[in-house]
Structure 1
């Protein structure tokens, strides 16, 4: 028994302990390397690389394993890739060993090429989506190409003339891109787009595929430019649905645009240019939430925000926002503008299908010294 205990101790001291120490020293080296990298302490980095030349190849190998591990987040993988590349380059320069750099260069090139291809693919449809509310449905682009079809270009703005947002959201479509599992099979069975595009209410989705599959084609131009709108056709559709389209109320026949050249829907509604339908159900009861909230700005150089619930309730259901996006209790949601571009809070719609939040004064429109009614709720500024 004593001999076995001594043998185990010896094995630990001879085999396990050095490995643990090596691992610890590798991690300590990596931590110090990253610290110098982030603080741009080049002189300390040079000394560090020269003093640890024996362990650098192993550290680089581990970094590359992490950089190519798809279970890790993209940001973490890219960071590890940058560190590995920097370390290999310095190892070559200071220790005259280009082995690790030669080994990882093809891997880095492959990763960079894939990233470039992905970026190029993501930019491909930007012109089609430049007009607010348009989006290209290209998840199955290769399969569509095989069928001789372009991706679908969906024009939110054209549908919005005929329908309030609440007609589709959230009963037919969740208000989140790529979350609905849209398929031709579902559409032709009367679901999703097929609720309306059934050959009766609107053209059938089982015929003339190019009516929708037109992204990147010359025919798509009319969906990127509201000036190309066919007033007579829209009026016919609106009346068929029970809505209204009154182009005679437009100034000079043009749809009103804001300074970013997106449609000003409120101005158009106030001018009674259109009256979209609120539901496909005959016994539909309109939800009403007619109050206002004054969001007090904490910055001296920008006015307060007067939020009008009714303006929003005219378009969307209360359940679209509450409680998933905003909690019901006033002040409970910690609203931050830097979260808007990420699609949170007001950014759930604004900047995608409603006017961009870059148009600051569309919301920050209530002077700080203006007296508002007693019925207005106040939301204190957070500091």
Structure 2
């Protein structure tokens, strides 16, 4: 922080001594810079290591520099700014204050203010990261959620947070059983005992009848940070309790024929996450489509071709049947995807932010880092019975640094199945 500013000062002093002599004592003709563009110029020269011009600017700006430093401190104090944004502003303030002291004398109070804010923001960021990473192991397996909305209250009662394993519940129920009728498809939902005791959220099943009662067996859920939690976040390595899972499946009307699993191990993809399609295809699971047996699966049977505009990536076939076996149409349409062919812009950059396909993939479904799980349709191989996006549909996102390509006009589409 301050070390960088001191380095700039020393480098600038040496540079001036070797190249400028006394000619810069009064700075260039024309007077000092206007306050409005001082920061822009200082930032440009500072980041560009242009020491000669930077020192000239500082020597001409004695009157305005304290105000500029205070303005940077005020801006860095904005709670809406990220840690990186704040530290960049404070780095500039540190450089200004250090150079002000070197060339004009004084300014110790400004340096002290800058350093105090740097220490404060670093401490806050360390605390934020510690909180973020505290349950990193428990949430390392796709779909696992550590419920922290009432963390202070839980800790006061001697409890660790509850760990919800999506993968375990997914054996017994389709995603559609809970989403969106019981839980919205986002993790921000605050889960409280008051709601559960009223038969909502987890209490829709955990009522002592369908599943154990949440008011009597706290230790069954509040396992985050405890040794017993490892079986919930490392199921493909530690193994699972097949008999217990099967007993629950039989009680709720689902299926868990683990005898069909080679060596009793869960099938996994290249990233060691559970391969749910294989579990279904092999007849190991048959989860229930609803919590209380009153709904059937709403399966839509068609395939949409998404053409990639990058030469090294194959096209993508989106299979509605595969997805609608797990979730309801209303889970995606129209809130996530407009239900009109060609109306949606599908960008990898948006997926990484949890939008469009990223609402599930990378959270509870396979990560989109596994490119070939989707990009597996050769461009030169005709596809029968699929829907094509219209030629004027929003283009796929080009990869930065590579030229975008114009896809060839699609062949006439066969009727949808």
Shared topology, TM-score over 0.5? yes
CA separation of 1:258 and 1:47: change in aligned 2, threshold 3 A: same
Q: Which of 139, 142, 149 is the matching residue for 2:159?
A: 149
Task: Confirm whether residue 370 of structure 1 aligns to residue 395 of structure 2.
Answer: no
Q: CA deviation at 1:27?
A: 2.4
Deviations 1:306-359 (A, max 9, x none): 110111111111111111111122222221112211111111111111101111
Q: CA deviation at 1:282?
A: 3.6
Q: Which of 189, 200, 216 is the matching residue for 2:198?
A: 189
CA separation of 1:85 and 1:379: change in aligned 2, threshold 3 A: farther
Determine the C-alpha separation between the residues in 2 that align with 1:25 and 1:302: 53
CA separation of 1:84 and 1:214: change in aligned 2, threshold 3 A: same
Q: CA deviation at 1:74?
A: 5.6
Task: Confirm whether residue 136 of structure 1 aligns to residue 140 of structure 2.
Answer: no
5+ residue gaps in structure 1? 1-23
Determine the C-alpha separation between the residues in 2 that align with 1:358 and 1:211: 33
Give the 3-state SS of the residue equivalent to 1:275 in structure 2.
coil
What TM-score do the two structures reach when normalised by structure 2? 0.81
Q: Which structure features the higher share of helix residues?
A: 1
What's 2:93 paired with? 84
Alignment of 1:327-346 (within 5 A): 327-346=338-357
What TM-score do the two structures reach when normalised by structure 1? 0.88
Mean Cα deviation higher: 286-295 or 29-38? 29-38
Alignment of 1:166-205 (within 5 A): 166-178=176-188, 180-205=189-214
Q: Is the 8 A contact 1:294 1:379 kept in 2?
A: no
CA separation of 1:282 and 1:368: change in aligned 2, threshold 3 A: same
Deviations 1:118-151 (A, max 9, x none): 1122111111111111121123322211100001
Determine the C-alpha separation between the residues in 2 that align with 1:96 and 1:322: 65
CA separation of 1:111 and 1:75: change in aligned 2, threshold 3 A: closer
Determine the C-alpha separation between the residues in 1 that align with 2:150 and 2:158: 13
RMSD, aligned α-carbons: 1.9
Q: Is the 8 A contact 1:291 1:376 kept in 2?
A: yes
Q: CA deviation at 1:62?
A: 1.6
Q: Which of 119, 143, 161 is the matching residue for 1:109?
A: 119
Task: Confirm whether residue 270 of structure 1 aligns to residue 290 of structure 2.
Answer: no
Give the 3-state SS of the residue equivalent to 1:111 in structure 2.
helix
CA separation of 1:42 and 1:148: change in aligned 2, threshold 3 A: same
Deviations 1:2-50 (A, max 9, x none): xxxxxxxxxxxxxxxxxxxxxx932221222233345454433332222
